[in-house]
Amino acid sequence: MDRRAFLRASLGSASALAVVSVLGPAAFASDASGPAAWTEPLVFSAVDDAQGRHFIAAIRPDGHIAFRLPVPERGHGGCRRPLADEVVMFSRRPGRYYQVIDFRQGAIVRQIEAEKDHHFYGHGVFSPDGDLLYVTANHFPSGGGRILVYDARQAYRLLGNLELDGIGPHEIRLHPDGQTLVIALGGIRTHPDYDRLKLNIADMQPALLLIDRQTGRTVQRHEPSHHQLSCRHLDVSKEGIVIAGYQFEGPEWEAPPLIARLDSATAAFSEISLAEPEQAALHNYIASIAIDPASRLVAVTAPRGNRALLLDYRSGEHIETVEISDVAGALAAQGKAFMFTSGLGGIYRGSANEAARIEGSDLRWDNHLTATDLRTG
Amino acid sequence: MPFPLRSTRPITALFGLALALSTTAAFGQPATALWHSDLAGGYQALVERSDALQQRAQSYCAAPKEHSLETVSEAWEEAFMAWQRVRFVDFGPIEQDNIAWQLQFWPDSKNLVARKTDNWLKGDQPINAAALAADSVAAKGFPALEYLLFDPRVRDGKQALPHARTCELVEAISAQIHDNATRLHSDWSRFGSHYQSRAEYEHTTVSAAMHTLEILRDKRLAAPMGLGGKGRRNPYIADAWRSGESLEAIEATLRGLQTYFLPGFLQLMQARQMTPLGEQFGLRLNEALVRLDSMPDAMAPLLKTDDGYRSLQLLYIDLDRLATLLNGTIASELGIIKGFNASDGD
């Protein structure tokens, strides 16, 4: 059996996935009889292998890994560039790089290093025309949070930055008005000298921020009910409803609310408390938030609690709980279902009362999924 | 039984092990109840030793001619070892406000301890609890004190103790260590009902020991030995190298596991019908302690000779077997799985 035949023969077997994905990019690049480009929708995620090496992986809709690309640092979040075949993936806090990936070629076409005195937090978002990239960053000599603005038309040249009133901007998304950036401000100060050590736990000032992407003006600012509720991740619905997830830096024997809901049209901000023992079962830690644009559902993952919650994002009602160990990334899939990944390995498709594993390798998926198909991501 | 006993201390330890088995079997106390009361004792010892340190520092600085600096250094060592014995606990009150880091900033690859502590020595800003609390964790805790007490840069410099400003700093840092220890101890008791009411803390506590053994083997021993990485021997990346207590500190951490972790662990293993595996762990732990008992306190001299290096290799094998037993066989029997994002997400 030649190598290509072997690959074809093993595609159906989950245990062979690691082999396929290792050979993925190389096989694709050298295989003249293969597809000219990846034409199907893909989902991107940062991933580590069992040896601790870092990759960006592309997942096909059936859960198989299309290809994976080695990167120098552990990755975190990503974003699709509108009107272009590009996805940008960010290194994890305190990250020094982001990679621009041509998802049709399956290749990293550019790697941008953070400018002096800055590191990335692991998230970014594009303007609606795909021209400008907004990246959350730490100016570590001052500790001030910044949004660095890059021009994707000019080889991702740094244009400037928006200074934020606060520390630790983490996830950033674009409001459906195309003008407003929605930012989860974690409030936690870090410095590369101290790696990931949190330097200001006693006097954190986290917030959910809406800022104008052209002027940098703060349009709305909402603060969590406790100063140690670090606002880290969020998603925005087409109606402008923001669901944000917190990580609590206070005592583990307390169980404060961890999910915030903002109706940006009315500036009505509230927090969603779950009934006990469901609230305590989240272990004070939310990893990622994914709204399904085709339904009223939002998925909220809690890896320490080994569970994802599905909520009605309009009413805040808790609909169901999907139990997956070390559940990490979430993304709306078709048919009111969500795709979930696990840090212990595995990609799952979860809908009412079931989560079916659709990928079987031992790759350690990081917390976020980024779709090339903008309708689902 | 053919145990390689070479000193009296490990014999007591073995008695402790047998005692732990019999008493817990008799009372049928849950593992977390035992861990909670044992660790309360560990934190209490830290409070007492850090109180002694603070008082010795005060007495010495008030009348340096009547007290020797060694009384402070010895008190530092006793308090530091009390901390090493409870250092394996990485959950609960210790997680608040980075107390673990405030007590011991380590590893310190950029020598921030010396840099940040020098800033205090060379500056003229008032030294008080609030100012110190607001500064970097590198200028707090045991390593900063160790720098002031043991490092030739200070001891042979113009501001060597009992220089007034150095004394002020030693007193302020000692007081802060004592405050943190006191808070830790009282928070630990408040944490008790939460800790004992949730079954998942059984695995959390075992995971803390697992993580500690990995750090002991890989970071505190293998790294200075030059195993892996660049392969260069480097005593300065061990902890407590300034005081020459790197191996003594490893011994104290293992002793802490034997004193505060093992009894509750044996209880847990008994409840899960895995007593033999639990006892095997206790014996291997004891073997490593027996070896350490016959070794010097400092690591640096052993890195310079073939014989010395060989003794470190044997210790490495002990720690590796111990870690492999707990983190491999036992963890898998207990169903403990370490999450990727659950343990280190963002």
**Per-residue pLDDT tens for A307-326?**
999 999 999 999 999 999 99
The residue that leads in pLDDT, A355 or B31, is: B31
Taking each helix axis from N to C terminus, what angle separates B306-324 and B200-214, rounded to the nearest 10 degrees?
160
pLDDT at A35: 53
Contacts of A325 in chain B (CB under 8 A): 337, 339
Lowest mean pLDDT among A99-103, A215-219, B15-19, B319-323: B15-19
Residues B143-163, mean pLDDT to the nearest whole number: 97
- pLDDT over 70, % of chain A: 89
Q: pLDDT (tens digit, 9 = 90+) per residue, A4-31? A: 333 333 333 333 333 333 333 433 333 3
Lowest mean pLDDT among A179-183, A356-360, A371-375, B244-248: A371-375
Q: In a 10 Å sphere around its CB, with 0-12 CB exposed, 13-18 middle and 19+ buried, how is residue A50 labelled?
A: exposed
Q: pLDDT (tens digit, 9 = 90+) per residue, B244-295? A: 999 999 999 999 999 999 999 999 999 999 999 999 999 999 999 999 999 9
Contacts of A2 (CB under 8 A, 6+ apart): none
Q: What distance in Å separates the CA atoms of residue A183 and residue A137, rounded to the nearest whole number?
A: 12
Other Cβ atoms less than 10 A from the Cβ of B229: the count is 10
Contacts of A365 in chain B (CB under 8 A): 340-341
pLDDT at A321: 93
Q: pLDDT (tens digit, 9 = 90+) per residue, A87-108? A: 999 999 999 999 999 999 999 9
Q: Strand, coil or helix: what is A224?
A: coil
- Alpha carbon separation from B219 to A179, A194, B222, B226, B328 (Å, rounded): 49, 17, 6, 10, 19
Q: What domains appear along chain A, each with residue ranges and CATH number?
A: 73-163 (2.40.10)
Answer for the pair A137, A172: CB distance below 8 angstroms, yes or no. no
Copy the structure tokens of residue A286: 């939310």
Burial B275-311 (b: 16+ CB within 10 A, else e): eebbbbbbebbbbbbbbbbebebbbbebbeeeebeeb
List residues in chain A touching B: CB distance below 8 A: 48, 76, 92-93, 122, 193-194, 197-199, 201-202, 232, 250-253, 285, 287, 303-304, 306, 325-326, 328, 343-344, 364-367
Residues B191-209, mean pLDDT to the nearest whole number: 96
Other Cβ atoms less than 10 A from the Cβ of A41: the count is 16
Contact across the interface for B345 and A201, Cβ inside 8 Å: no
pLDDT at B275: 97
Where residue A375 falls among pLDDT bands split at 50, 70, 90? low
Residues A132-151, mean pLDDT to the nearest whole number: 97
- Closest chain B residue to A123 measured between Cα atoms? B346
pLDDT at B22: 46
Cα Rg of chain A, angstroms: 20
Q: Is the pLDDT confidence value at B49 over 90?
A: yes
Q: What distance in Å separates the CA atoms of residue B15 and residue B12, rounded to the nearest whole number?
A: 5
- The answer to whether the bond into B276 is cis (omega within 30° of 0) is no
pLDDT at A353: 65
pLDDT at B23: 46
Q: pLDDT (tens digit, 9 = 90+) per residue, B70-95? A: 999 999 999 999 999 999 999 999 99
Q: pLDDT (tens digit, 9 = 90+) per residue, B111-125? A: 999 999 999 999 999
pLDDT at A374: 67
Mean pLDDT of chain B: 92
- Residues shown for chain A: 377
pLDDT at B73: 98
Copy the structure tokens of residue A21: 């994905």
Contact across the interface for A252 and B112, Cβ inside 8 Å: no
Nearest to A367 among B96, B101, B345 (CB): B345
pLDDT at A352: 57
Contact across the interface for B345 and A202, Cβ inside 8 Å: no
Which residues partner with A11 through β-bridges? none
- Closest by CA position to A371, among listed A44, A69, A60: A44
Q: What is the DSSP letter of A115?
A: P
Contacts of B110 in chain A (CB under 8 A): 193
pLDDT at A244: 98
Q: In a 10 Å sphere around its CB, with 0-12 CB exposed, 13-18 middle and 19+ buried, how is residue B140 labelled?
A: buried
Residues A216-227, mean pLDDT to the nearest whole number: 98
List residues in chain B touching A: CB distance below 8 A: 91-93, 95-98, 101, 110, 112, 136-138, 191, 194-195, 337, 339-342, 345-346
**Strand intervals (E) in chain B:** none
Q: What distance in Å separates the CA atoms of residue B145 and residue B158, rounded to the nearest whole number?
A: 17
Q: What distance in Å separates the CA atoms of residue B69 and residue B76, rounded to the nearest whole number?
A: 11
Taking each helix axis from N to C terminus, what angle separates B275-293 and B262-271, rounded to the nearest 10 degrees?
160
pLDDT at A109: 97
Strands A318-323 and A307-312, bridge-based pairing: antiparallel
Q: State the pTM of this model.
A: 0.86
Q: Which fold has domain B8-338?
A: A middle domain of Talin 1 (1.20.1420)
Distance, CA of A188 to chain centre = 19
pLDDT at A281: 95
- Closest by CA position to A281, among listed B207, B205, B342: B342
- Closest by CA position to A308, among listed A369, A362, A374, A226: A369
Other Cβ atoms less than 10 A from the Cβ of B3: the count is 12
pLDDT at A36: 55
Contact across the interface for B97 and A202, Cβ inside 8 Å: yes
Distance from CA of B184 to the nearest CA of A (A): 12
- What number of helices (H) and strands (E) belong to chain B? 17, 0
Q: What distance in Å separates the CA atoms of residue B63 and residue B223, rounded to the nearest whole number?
A: 42
Q: What distance in Å separates the CA atoms of residue B235 and residue B304, rounded to the nearest whole number?
A: 10
Contact across the interface for B91 and A252, Cβ inside 8 Å: yes
